[in-house]
């Protein structure tokens, strides 16, 4: 725990966070607390960088206790020991864009450093359990989560899913009440993009606040569904067995290329095996064409209700 005072304390991924940059996406910590926090986000205003305006690609540098992430033309983020993020911004930096990296890449790295398993996907609360939707970019993870929310279910996490083992049981800790949706999905759900902030650099993807339909407590992870697009005209669901379950969890670990450099491959394999042995894992192939999110909700709920 780290000591702090006279600052707003936020909550994300079960962690107490203070920040030099306001984080309106995160809920402030309610009630009394003892001036200790888990994560401090500090802006190094004495080191306004100009040289990072030149690189055109993001860059990671890993040492024993630090991960240094250079976001091209934006800032250099240094994550230390799972408890501190230092932001060295470029001149004239955009705070909205900095927050996007802080709550995505930086928190994902911090979770790894804290030995919390970061799955890349969305999670929904269903009957007191968490179900995760994973897949490649554009597979429809957040859209499927939105379809569940439109059916009355609650969001647990979007983009990064924090999974930890408690007495052998995989548990999902909520991230923060926001998700990201493409314009196409907004259109399908009848949502006006004028109400939302676009993600910098992706003018057709938007940050969507989630207030009433957000689940605030930790939940046991009961199942994982990998979403894939298919040339088939019908939805197909296939249970995943054997070592492919562990391989799937590795493929969809957030920023998995850092595991080797951080010396976490053994931890990740053992944790993946423990998780895979406790949950159901399925692959869902959906048609390339058409909007199938609501049909997928029906199929998944039928599987869960039947205990398949």
Q: How far is 213 from 38, CA to CA, in rounded Å?
A: 26
- Say how many CA atoms lie within 13 Å of 302 toward its Cβ: 7
Tokens (6 digits) for 294: 């609501």
pTM tops 0.85, yes or no = yes
Sorted by sequence, the CB contacts under 8 Å of residue 82 that are 6+ apart come out as 39, 110, 111, 112, 113, 114
Cα gap 79→74, rounded to integer Å: 16
- Would you give per-residue pLDDT tens digits along the chain (308 residues)? 555 555 789 999 999 999 999 999 998 886 656 678 999 999 987 655 554 444 456 789 998 789 999 987 789 999 999 999 999 988 777 788 899 899 999 999 999 999 999 999 999 999 999 999 999 888 889 989 999 999 999 999 999 999 999 999 999 999 999 888 877 777 777 777 666 777 655 567 778 888 889 999 999 999 999 999 888 778 889 999 999 999 999 999 999 999 999 999 999 999 999 999 999 999 999 887 777 788 889 999 998 887 64
How many other CB atoms sit within 10 Å of the CB of residue 279? 20
Measured CA to CA, the distance from residue 210 to residue 249 in angstroms comes to 27
Q: What is the 3-state secondary structure (H, E, C) of the chain?
A: CEECCCCCCEEECCEEEEECCCCCCCCECCCCCCCEECEEEEECCCCCECHHHCCCCCEEEECCCEEEEEECCCEEEEEECCCEEEEEEECCCCHHHHHHHHHHHHHHHHHHHCCCEEEEEEEEEECCEEEEEEECCCCCHHHHHHHHHHCCCEEEEEEEEEEEEECCEEEEECCCCEEEEEHHHHHHCCCCHHHCEEECCEEEEEEEECCCCECCCCEEEEEEEEEEEECCCCCEEEECCCHHHHHHHHHCECCCCHHHHCCCHHHHHHHHHHHHCCCEEEEEEEECCCCCHHHHHHHHHHHHHHCC
CA distance 236 to 228: 10
Place of tokens 């899913």: 161
CATH number of 117-306: 3.40.50.300
Q: List the domain boundaries for the chain.
A: 2-113, 117-306
**Cβ-contact 39, 85 below 8 angstroms:** yes
Give the count of beta carbons closer than 10 Å to the beta carbon of residue 209.
14
CB 101 within 8 A of CB 141: no
């Amino acid at each position: 725990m780290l000591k702090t005072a006279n600052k707003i304390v936020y909550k994300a991924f079960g962690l107490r966070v203070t920040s030099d940059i306001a984080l309106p996406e995160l809920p402030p910590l309610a009630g009394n607390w003892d001036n200790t926090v888990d994560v401090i986000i500090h802006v190094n205003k004495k080191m306004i960088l100009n040289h990072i305006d030149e690189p055109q690609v993001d860059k990671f540098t890993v040492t024993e206790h630090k991960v240094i992430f250079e976001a091209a033309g934006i800032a250099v983020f240094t994550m230390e020991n799972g408890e501190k993020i230092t932001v060295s911004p470029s001149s004239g930096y955009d705070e909205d864009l900095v927050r996007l990296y802080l709550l995505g890449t930086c928190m994902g790295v911090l979770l790894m450093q804290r030995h919390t398993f970061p799955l890349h996907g969305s999670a929904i609360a269903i009957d007191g359990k968490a179900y995760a939707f994973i897949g490649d970019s554009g597979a429809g993870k957040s859209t499927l989560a939105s379809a569940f929310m439109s059916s009355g279910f609650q969001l647990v996490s979007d983009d990064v899913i924090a999974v930890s083992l408690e007495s052998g049981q995989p548990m999902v800790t909520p991230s923060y009440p926001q998700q990201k949706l493409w314009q196409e999905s907004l259109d399908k759900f009848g949502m006006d993009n004028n109400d939302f902030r676009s993600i910098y650099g992706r003018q057709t993807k938007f940050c969507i606040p989630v207030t009433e339909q957000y689940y605030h407590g930790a939940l046991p992870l009961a199942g994982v569904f990998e979403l894939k697009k298919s040339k088939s005209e019908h939805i197909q669901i296939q249970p995943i067995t054997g070592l492919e379950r562990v391989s799937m969890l590795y493929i969809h670990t957030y920023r998995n290329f850092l595991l080797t450099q951080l010396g976490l491959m053994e931890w990740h394999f053992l944790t993946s095996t423990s998780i895979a042995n406790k949950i159901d894992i399925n692959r869902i192939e959906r048609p390339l064409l058409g909007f199938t999110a609501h049909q997928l909700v029906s199929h998944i709920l039928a599987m869960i209700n039947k205990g398949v």
